[in-house]
Amino acid sequence: MRWPDHPLRRWCGAVGVAAALAAGAGAPAPATYSARTTADEPQYLLSALSLAEDGDLDIADELADRRWRAFHAAGLPEQTRQLPDGRRVSPHDPLLALLLAPGVAAAGWLGAKLTLALVGGALAALLTWTSVVRCGTTPRVAASCVGVFALAAPLVAYGGQVYPELPAALAVTAAIALLTGPLRRTALLGLAAAVVALPWLGLKYAAVTAVLALLGAGRLVRTGRMGAAAGLACGLAAAGVVFVAVHQSVWTGWTAYASADHFAAGGELGVVGFAPDYLGRSTRLLGLLVDRGFGLAAWQPAWLLAVPALAAVARASGDANRVRWVLLGPLLAGWLTATFAALTMHGWWFPGRQVVVVLPAAVLAVAMWAQGSRSRLRAVLGLGAAGLASWAWLAVEALTGRRTLVVDFAATANPLYRAWSLLLPDYLEGGPRTWLLHAAWLVTLAALARLGWRGAAQPTENSATMPSS
């Protein structure tokens, strides 16, 4: 990818620095009232600590020495069983721990969180560049739309929570940027690296990984580059063999879940649930967006505008065709994974965790849609301001000890959230009111999608020409 000319470089830098600072400012906020981290976060930190100090993933000595007390004062659910050779390896893929190891070595848990804040800044900068150079928006529209989402939940939240979500989102954004540009040798190597990185961050990204790989191979085949397509396929197949071999050696199974104590009896596939109710999970198709506590729009209402934006992308014509499936494919794969494969939509983490990996595609779609008219951009900025205010309010509450970012964030005193949340269904509560609101939001989102679909066929006042590179 060619680095932008000087004016665009300033826009990318400004948005990236703002996103990194916003995430870094919230990094000291506690996850619970007794711990800086919770759920899987301590496991990633212990693995990073082991890599930094011992050069391996065996955390048996870290557990024995209770090294987790610096960031998890309460009793730690260890998650991992002892392997036949005596090792204890966390049931999580290792790339995040490897990324965090330098920060952990330098500044412990805070160093890890600040590392992720820098990843958030890099993600915002790359999204701005991709929006302008690949999707044809102006720098002002790109920076405005990216800023609205990068400085609000959930992206800013995961710049301070120790999960692989932001690094995975960065890998997806890099793949999108490469797939929408000229796929020369260097770009193909970059695409392969981004695709290979995803499963090493988490096997839950397998469907997104497969879609990105197919998009790359499909484009090469369509343009008659059969040798390059075969090379990409062989390279990715070899990477898959290495992935399996390393997991068999280190985790003694096909996946990292093989070392987990809670999957020992039911097998590694227990990560998706031992008796999953897929019909019941289907409510997440809507709930991931509008659930009162864990929906994206609960904390940043501007995510609602992804619905008309994606409908417009789906009907795109002309040059915009080039980005259609590169945006829609990964987003659909990630959303379906979060709906049907994830064990739960709710959990001991900040809302939106399951879909963060593919939210860059939605951000780019919204920027393309907002490019079409000033009224659309005003809608993004207006709704976005409410989301920015919601995160700022919650971050201050968490930093001053009145709330935490995992246990009771939904109890925030923010009047904007408390009023807005009354219009959203609570899928944890259920009952007639929840299902009435569910139906109302289905109708509302269908209407928004129809507006986006119809608007895509009409000329707009600020249309930009897609780049042909």
Alpha helices in 84-184 (DSSP H): 95-133, 139-150, 165-179
Query: Which domain, by its residues, includes 101?
Result: 6-268+277-455
In a domain, 222, yes or no: yes
- Per-residue CA distances from 290 to 146, 377, 404 (Å): 21, 22, 22
Confidence (pLDDT) at 467: 40
pLDDT tens-digit series, residues 88-142: 999 999 999 999 999 999 999 999 999 999 999 999 999 999 999 999 999 999 9
CA dihedral 223, 226, 228, 229 (to 10 degrees): 90
Model's pTM, two decimal places? Answer: 0.92
Amino acid letter, 391: W
Question: Three-class SS of residue 32?
Answer: strand
Which neighbouring-strand residues pair with 58?
89
In a domain, 228, yes or no: yes
- Per-residue CA distances from 183 to 57, 328, 364, 435 (Å): 36, 19, 20, 47
Confidence (pLDDT) at 401: 87
Peptide bond just before 154 cis, omega within 30 deg: yes
Average pLDDT of the residues of the chain? 90
Cβ-contact 357, 199 below 8 angstroms: no
In a domain, 468, yes or no: no
Cβ-contact 278, 340 below 8 angstroms: yes
Which neighbouring-strand residues pair with 82?
88
Q: What are phi and psi of 386, to 5 degrees?
A: -65, -40
In a domain, 90, yes or no: yes
d(CA 105, CA 416): 40
d(CA 394, CA 289): 19
Q: What are phi and psi of 260, to 5 degrees?
A: -80, 135
Confidence (pLDDT) at 4: 52
What sign results for the dihedral spanned by CA atoms 436, 437, 439, 444?
positive
Confidence (pLDDT) at 463: 46
Question: What is the helix, strand, coil percentage profile of the chain, to 5?
Answer: 70, 0, 30
Structural domains in the chain (count): 1
In a domain, 461, yes or no: no
pLDDT in tens, the chain (469 residues): 555 557 899 999 999 999 999 999 988 988 888 888 888 899 999 999 999 999 999 999 888 888 888 888 777 787 888 888 888 999 999 999 999 999 999 999 999 999 999 999 999 999 999 999 999 999 999 999 999 999 999 999 999 899 999 999 999 999 999 999 999 999 999 999 999 999 999 999 999 999 999 999 999 999 999 999 999 999 999 999 999 999 999 988 888 888 887 655 556 666 666 678 888 889 999 999 999 999 999 999 999 999 999 999 998 866 566 788 999 999 999 999 999 988 888 888 899 999 999 999 999 999 999 998 999 999 999 999 999 999 999 999 999 989 988 888 999 999 999 999 999 999 988 899 999 999 999 999 999 999 998 887 665 554 444 443 3
Residue 225 Ramachandran class (φ > 0 left, ψ -120 to 50 alpha, else beta)? beta
In a domain, 293, yes or no: yes
Burial readout 193-227 (b: 16 or more C-beta within 10 A, e: otherwise): ebbbbbbbbbbbbebbbbbbbebbbebbeeeebee
Q: List all residues 6 or more positions away from 366 whose beta carbon is below 8 Å from its beta carbon.
A: 145, 149, 302, 305, 306, 309, 380
Q: DSSP for 120-140?
A: HHHHHHHHHHHHHHTT---HH
In a domain, 466, yes or no: no
Confidence (pLDDT) at 5: 56
250 alpha-carbon distance from chain centroid: 27
- Per-residue CA distances from 294 to 37, 227, 300, 348 (Å): 19, 45, 11, 11
In a domain, 147, yes or no: yes
d(CA 45, CA 102): 11
